[in-house]
Amino acid sequence: MSFGAPLFLFGLFALAIPIIIHLINFRRYKKIWFTNVRFLAEIKQERQKRSQLKQWLLLALRLLAVASLVFAFAQPYLPSSLPSDMQQQQGVSIFVDNSFSMDAIGSEGKLIETAKEKAREVISAYKPSDRFQLLTNDFEGGHQHLVSRDEFLKLLEEVHITPASRKISEVVSRQEDLLSASPELARNIFLISDFQKESSDFNNLAPDTATSYYLLPIPANKTGNLYIDTAFFESVVQQPNQLSHLHVRIRNAGPDRMEKIPVKLLLNNRQKALASASIDPGSQTELILPFTNEAGGIQSGYLELPDYPIVYDDRCFISYPLVTTVSVLCINEADENPYLNALFGGDSAFRFVNAGVNRLNYSSFASFSLIILNQLNHISSGLAQELNRFTLNGGTLMSILPQQIDQSDYSRFFSLTGMPAIGLADTSRLRVSQISLESQVYTDVFEPDASGRIELPNNADLPVVHFHYPLEITTGSTIEPLLILQNGDILLSRKSHEKGAIVLLTSPLELTSTSLPGHLLFVPTFYKIALLSQPRSDLYYFTGSNQPIEVPADSLSDEIVFRIVKDNSELEIIPELRFVDGHMLLYPHDQVKEAGLYSIYLGAKQISGIAFNFSRSESNLDYLTPDAIREILEQKEMHSFVLLQANQPSMAKEIREAERGKPLWKLFLLLALLFLASEIALIRFFPKL
């Protein structure tokens, strides 16, 4: 306990006055003569004992009354653990959470309006001469400086719900940076939020011991939220007039089970699929929406489900292209491969180019999605480096091994790309015994049975191999076997390599080495490998992010000015343009703030479509309770943090008590009155004591 006016404690010397009065008895005695005083002596002795007890009680009450009165004038208080100096000019930074979750309803209405009202109460606890900062999830430039109280109130009126969402650690770091720029001010930080678990990363906080922190939770009424969490295609490539399967993951963040919720898909203003979902509370379900892509070009639309009151996450916008042409480069040692020419050369869905190994233009590699090494005997170090760069940037490389091979070249190349080493040639006659049906390469190649499973018959006629190179697979290898021979060797394999992939055929693509070129399995296998080589385009991006958007590199012209335009709107932004390893990348830099369908233009030409959705980080309505926050603060020993209560009638009073300490003068004044009243009651109601 500390005192605001400690000089008044000298008043405790006044305690000597009642002590002196009680020690010196000023009462006069009157003599009365009796014939026999024996009985009077007994009565006198009994009354003296009672009188002494009463006098001691009166002395104690008077001492306590005087002491309490002295303490009251000395202004006692319980000191605060905060470092704030109230004699110094105050710098006050107030974060008002305006994320989507603050659109929920609380006991006093919408949380965002309650938060704004609490911010007004907070600044009323400070002097007009103090300096204030308003901060929201938008991190607006106009909020990055200290203002007067009136200017703060004007800025507060302009705060509205935003799709942006920040971690608590990000917010506190921004507030600390601003306040530290004014060392002459005492630093105070306020966080007014619903404190969702997703964003409340208190473990990442490193509080400044010279700063006072105040947490003001604004609780929401318990409500449900059903939302579309994720959407993705089963196959990475979508083609015209082909069946596509769109997977939709739906989450129920509410306390009740949701029954038969309709989910519909609209593409190009036409409904393409409809399904319904029943979801238990706190769980998720995944729907598969099958539909047929009827036309080429850009496919844009959205998934939708009905839900209330939180509606921002009830739509999931998607946009994707239909693959009509796949660019394939075949690098030949000598002669062209007749089977590859027959498969890709006569199909308009492919742009198939043959090139000799000695006449390569490395700069053209970026314009192809699949490069085939057709039985090259040697791989130069320069070619190996370019092929490795090609796969790192998302391209697919297929290597068909020849009969005569330079082991040192291939060992160096396979080591560079992380492929397993190859052993000595095996001329045994072996049949393919196993196909990896779960691989993307063979998705939709085989018809499932009535139960939905795919099983090959025991007597299936599978390709035969007369010549192949066994692979030396090591523990921990991530290679994916596609075709496996009877002795366990791998005939065809696939391995991811950064953004791209490497496919390896361990036998020459000739009938003298294998029956694969003339087998029915040849066409779908190589066809799917070529389709899967297409660069994956995201179905959607998130607003407020800076995720790069890749556009076709052949869109280059003398004047490169790309525009991202919102469909059916005047909203238009110009993104940053970067050319990286043959890929054209656009960076929106947090300029897209509205969810919806957009188009990318180069000049007046539409290059592609793109969809933006709001982040789902605010969709899970799971909050930290005040007790949970208090427990975290105690565990982390964050003594400079104060947890305020939103339901207090006087927020300003609570803040002043937190900063200056809890005053106790009223308590001691009440005690003084209580002791005086007890003295009066003792004298009046117990006269014979």
Tell which CATH architecture fits domain 541-613: Sandwich (2.60)
Question: Which letter, b or e, does each residue of 504-528 get, where b requires 16 or more Cβ atoms within 10 Å of its Cβ?
Answer: bbbbbbbeebbbbbeeebbeebbbb
Tell me the CA distances in angstroms from 527 to 158, 204, 235, 409, 506, one per residue in order: 57, 50, 14, 28, 18
CA 321 remoteness from chain centre: 28
The candidate with the shortest Cα–Cα distance to 191, out of 268, 110, 99, is 99
> What per-residue confidence (pLDDT) applies to 661?
56
In eight-state DSSP terms, residue 341 is: I
Nearest to 216 by CA among 131, 104, 111: 111
Q: Which of these, 130, 117, 282, lies nearest to 216 by C-alpha position?
A: 117
pLDDT at 22: 72
Low-confidence ranges of the chain (pLDDT < 50): 26, 28, 555-556
d(CA 415, CA 421): 8
Burial of 122 from C-beta contacts in 10 A (0-12 / 13-18 / 19+): buried
* Secondary structure element (H or E) that encloses residue 529, with its range: helix 522-532
544-569 residue pLDDT tens? 888 888 887 654 455 678 899 999 88
Q: What is the pTM of this model?
A: 0.69
Residue 608: CB atoms within 10 A of its CB come to 20
Strands 572-573 and 471-472, by their bridges, are: unpaired
pLDDT score recorded for residue 371: 95
For residue 73, give the 3-state DSSP assignment: helix
| Model pLDDT, residue 650 | 64
CATH architecture of 326-334+368-532: 3-Layer(aba) Sandwich (3.40)
The terminus-to-terminus CA distance of the chain in angstroms comes to 38
Q: Look up tokens 């007004």; give the residue.
A: 120
Spacing of C-alpha 118 from chain mean position: 27
Q: How far is 99 from 615, CA to CA, in rounded Å?
A: 11
Distances (CA, A) of 134 to 97, 131, 202, 291, 686: 11, 11, 21, 49, 64
CB of 156 within 8 A of CB of 192?
no
Residue 43: its pLDDT value, please? Answer: 52
Question: Which has the closest alpha carbon to 299: 242, 347, 350, 250?
Answer: 242
Report d(CA 687, CA 22) in Å as an integer: 18
Check residue 345 and report its DSSP letter: I
| 36 token code pair | 């026999």
The partner residues of 629 in beta bridges, in order of sequence, read none
Contact yes or no for 303/345 (Cβ under 8 A)? no
Q: Give the number of other CB atoms < 10 A from CB of residue 237.
A: 21
Residue 688 is predicted with a pLDDT of 61
Q: What token pair was written down for 568?
A: 């059916």
Residue 468 · residue 425 · CB < 8 Å: yes
The contacts of residue 194 (CB under 8 Å, 6+ apart) are 97, 101, 102, 104, 111, 217, 218, 219, 220, 623
pLDDT for position 603: 82
Domains 90-222+622-660 and 541-613 are alike in CATH topology = no
> Side by side, which strands form the sheet with 480-485?
350-356, 326-332, 370-374, 396-400, 500-505, 490-497, 480-485, 430-435, 464-465
- The token duo for 226 is 């059903």
* Pairing label, strands 596-602, 583-587: unpaired
The runs of H, that is alpha helices, within 124-167 are 149-157
d(CA 268, CA 270): 6
As a whole number of angstroms, the distance between CA 328 and CA 557 comes to 24
Q: Where are the domains of the chain?
A: 2-79+665-685, 90-222+622-660, 226-323, 326-334+368-532, 541-613
Domain 90-222+622-660 has CATH 3.40.50.1370: no
- Amino acid 475: pLDDT: 78
The pLDDT of residue 28: 47
pLDDT value at position 555? 47
State both tokens at 55: 């006098």
pLDDT digits (tens, 9 = 90+) for 177-207: 999 888 888 899 999 999 998 889 988 888 8
Neighbours of 116 (CB within 10 A): 19
* DSSP structural state of residue 342: I
Check if CATH label 3.30.365.10 holds for domain 226-323: no
Q: Measured on CA atoms in the order 163, 167, 170, 172, is the torsion positive or negative?
A: positive
Which tokens belong to 299? 């496919």
The one-character DSSP state at 510 is S
| The two three-digit tokens of residue 575, written as one number | 């993104």
d(CA 47, CA 663) in angstroms, rounded, equals 45
Residue-level pLDDT at 450: 61
